[in-house]
Structure 1
Amino acid sequence: METLEEAQLCFPAVNNSCKKSTGSHLEAAITHTLLSLIFLLTVVLNLVVIIAISHFRQLHTTTNLLLLSLAVADFLVGFTEMPFYIFQYGQCWVLGDFGCAVICTFSFFTVSVSVGNMVLISVDRYVAICDPMLYPTKVTMKRVQFSIYLCWIFSAVHTFWILRDFLQQPDRYNSCYGECVLVVNYAEVVVDLVATFLGPILIITVLYMRVFVVAVSQARAMRSHVKSVTHHRPGTVTAQKSEIKAARTLGIVVIVFLLCCSPYYFVTAAAESNLVEASSGGTEIWFLYFNSCLNPIIYAFCYPWFRKSVKHILTLQILQPDSRDTNIL
């Protein structure tokens, strides 16, 4: 008969098994329900973005291509990472050392890809607002595709370099069997902090400060000369308003991303400096993951094409012939 001590172990048959968490069942149920809801929203909403941008020809723009890359990264976070962390949250790791290595590596990789996409989005909006006349020649589909490929490749190289020691021996820092602990050397933490947080924040902040100043001046110019400009060049005003709205929306996306990822990097840096106790980082990681759920929600409030796409997808209108050419804007 199983003793009380054995019942508290993750793997009773193993001598050095970790112990299960002893939190209340109500708290565990609420936590798992909330995390499962975030998982479902992340997967479904990002899948809508992927289908919409890939399917409708009107959405095949350079800016939307960057949003598509970001949505793919967010979808991978929801589909491949969240389920494992939901079942592992506060309990035992049952996927072994190989599963721990795969999930941790993929987590680093997708975060790095998301950061890279945020930088590319900021550059795209900077050129569109600050140099609109040359935007069509500077920002082409081929250049954006090439930039996205480089972003994913760089993220993969960066991830495998940062985690090279961990991948060789994933269980080196585990205190017991049934644990998944990732510890990175101080030098590698500094490199990761600069490459995927401080550096991108500096670039994004500088670019969006410039975008904000130019957008405000353009908005004032349009208000003061709207009649004459509309009479002579009606398309110019519409284009400027569209670009400014896109910059505002994507600025919200970038700010939300920074707010969601800041706790993780601040706690990591503080733990390395011994300012706080090192932890599993479960809460901070879920802040990162929650950003993948928020991005398509922002699109739903700011982009009419997203709401129309949801309607076409749910009513299966995208299965009709020539649905790719539907007026979705």
Structure 2
Amino acid sequence: NIFVVSLAVADLVVAVYPYPLVLTSIFNNGWNLGYLHCQISAFLMGFSVIGSVFNITGIAINRYCYICHSLKYDKLYSNKNSLCYVFLIWILTLIAIVPNLRIGTLQYDPRIYSCTFTQSVSSAYTIAVVVFHFIVPMIVVTFCYLRIWILVLQVRWKVKPENKPKLKPQDFRNFVTMFVVFVLFAICWAPLNFIGLIVASDPANMVPRIPEWLFVVSYYMAYFNSCLNAIIYGLLNQNFRKEYRRIIVSLCTAKIFFADSSNDIEDRIKCKRSPLITNNNLIKVDSV
């Protein structure tokens, strides 16, 4: 599914650039990589987060159309339309993150050794971010999955209208996988977003009242979510498990192959005999 690939790209964005810089900051006990890297790191973190939210929303709508409106699905989600939807998701993500550069909300926070979105810079913008980039998408996703669960229960209890198409076991497993992805995303990101709403209500008074440990835990719990999706796919999807095994076996086989090849070369060198002394060589020696 192209939407799952797009979500995986959103998760990989933070692993490629921001996370290594955060580790460097932790080891150096502070940020010493300059302003430009700070802005790029914070921008990519926000880009990844909002991209994940919008992709999860797109996946939920896709599953809702596929299961609850399957007769219209092929027309709505042709290959061309699906590519356009994914492209639209990333365009909206870019539009959503760009205002941070103008408002100046991307700053270094010593509590978490990261350059990230600073909730106390602009109350109005922080509220807008939480509402439009978290609460509204979560409401849309919740609606889609509730409708799907209703249909699933109707199928199980055999109270589904006859004109509705049957739900295949594979479709149900895929739905459960993406539902778990959504639930874990909501659990991991809810604390940090609620802290943002509290801070935005009165930054001057509320920032000192938020315990530092609570903010740090909520922040790292939120960004740890990017590592969970691959685990969920492996646990709940048989195809992913097969691919994981195939990759691991291929890597191990390649390692053993190269090790055996190197040993064979060494053995051949050790066992290689010295050239035989020919009669010509003897003649030359005698002549000398």
Q: TM-score range by the shorter chain?
A: 0.7 to 0.9
d(CA) in 1 for partners of 2:23, 2:159: 50
Match of 2:172 in 1: 244
Q: Is the 8 A contact 1:264 1:285 kept in 2?
A: yes
Match of 2:98 in 1: 160
d(CA) in 1 for partners of 2:114, 2:77: 47
d(CA) in 2 for partners of 1:106, 1:164: 16
Match of 1:36 in 2: none
- Alignment CA distance shift 1:271-1:312 (3 Å): same
Q: In percent, how many aligned pairs have the same letter?
A: 26
Q: State the shift of 1:276 in Å.
A: 4.8
d(CA) in 2 for partners of 1:174, 1:83: 16
Superimposed CA distance per residue, residues 83-103 of structure 1 (whole angstroms, 9 cap, x where no aligned partner): 222232482111111111111
Larger Rg: 2
Q: Is the 8 A contact 1:97 1:180 kept in 2?
A: no
| 1:293 corresponds to 2:227 | yes
Q: Is the 8 A contact 1:69 1:148 kept in 2?
A: yes
| 1:196 corresponds to 2:137 | no
| 1:314 corresponds to 2:248 | yes
- Alignment CA distance shift 1:206-1:174 (3 Å): closer
List alignment gaps of at least 5 residues for structure 1.
1-63, 226-235, 318-329
Match of 1:52 in 2: none
2:121 corresponds, among 184, 187, 203, to 184
d(CA) in 1 for partners of 2:146, 2:137: 14
Superimposed CA distance per residue, residues 42-69 of structure 1 (whole angstroms, 9 cap, x where no aligned partner): xxxxxxxxxxxxxxxxxxxxxx211100
Q: State the shift of 1:297 in Å.
A: 0.5
What is the one-letter code of the residue matched to 2:67? I
d(CA) in 1 for partners of 2:114, 2:13: 23
2:147 corresponds, among 195, 210, 216, to 210
2:217 corresponds, among 277, 283, 292, to 283
Match of 2:59 in 1: 121
| 1:219 corresponds to 2:153 | no
Q: Is the 8 A contact 1:78 1:289 kept in 2?
A: no
TM-score under structure 2 length normalisation: 0.74
Q: Is the 8 A contact 2:126 2:197 kept in 1?
A: yes
Secondary structure, counterpart of 2:194 in structure 1: helix
- Alignment CA distance shift 1:211-1:179 (3 Å): closer
